[in-house]
Amino acid sequence: MNNNILSLFQLCDSNLPTGAFSHSFGLESYIQEDQVKDQETFFQWLKVYLHEQLIYSDGLASRLVYEALMDEDIQEIWNLDRLLTVQNLPRETREGTQMIGDRMLKLTESLYGMPILSQYRAEIKRKSSFGHPAIVFSMVAHGLGVTKPDTILYYLYSAISSQVQNAVRAIPLGQTAGQTITHNFIPELTQAVERILQLTKDDFGIVSPGIELSQMKHERVNIRIFMS
């Protein structure tokens, strides 16, 4: 393992102060309706969340951003930033993602000092872009020389592991159960990367109606521990 991969691992840590731990992306709605209540039902939810929502949004975007960086097509990155934001119809999920992206950008800009990160920040400041963690992550990974499939894999891992931590707190599950889920989920992640590599831009933003609806419903839940 080289130091660059180790450097990227820092971004995969669910303790990274981006605020990701305060967003459940609709999971809390399922927990409150008692549809997600244990290790098994959470695993089921996580599978649908990954394979039917994340791969078409964050996952595919991560790949396309990486490719745009290779082609030095920066305008394409700003297009993807807008597309990622406006396809996210539930307000809490959209604004939460934007907040996480913004904090991650601030943090990584000071840690890695890559010019593309400063350029992204300037775009956001000018209100031409919104900010998205999948884009920030892919910029850093590309800058560190991590391969495209690994970039997508590590990004998905970071998104999934923060959801596992959320589930441990919210359902609640034991820490060991949380680790078991993460471990058993690894084949799902590699499968997701293979799918993403085969998708086309036409597949971008396909939603899973139930997941999306639960993210909209979260706005109206009375008692909450998550912001989305």
Residues that bind other proteins (CB under 8 A): 30, 35, 41, 44-45, 48-49, 52-53, 56, 82-83, 85-92, 94, 130, 203-217, 219-220
Q: Which residue has the tokens 């990160």?
A: 117
Q: Which residue has the tokens 């990004």?
A: 155
Closest CA to 108 of 18, 23, 22, 15: 18
- Give the separation between CA 23 and CA 99, rounded to whole angstroms: 10
Closest CA to 192 of 166, 146, 159, 167: 159
CB of 36 to other proteins, least distance (A): 8
Closest CA to 138 of 153, 128, 126: 153
CB of 96 to other proteins, least distance (A): 12
**7 vs 208 by CB, closer to other proteins:** 208
CB of 68 to other proteins, least distance (A): 17
**52 vs 188 by CB, closer to other proteins:** 52
CB contact set of 140 (below 8 Å; sequence gap of 6+): 8, 11, 108, 112, 114, 117
**153 vs 211 by CB, closer to other proteins:** 211
**48 vs 197 by CB, closer to other proteins:** 48
CB of 127 to other proteins, least distance (A): 11
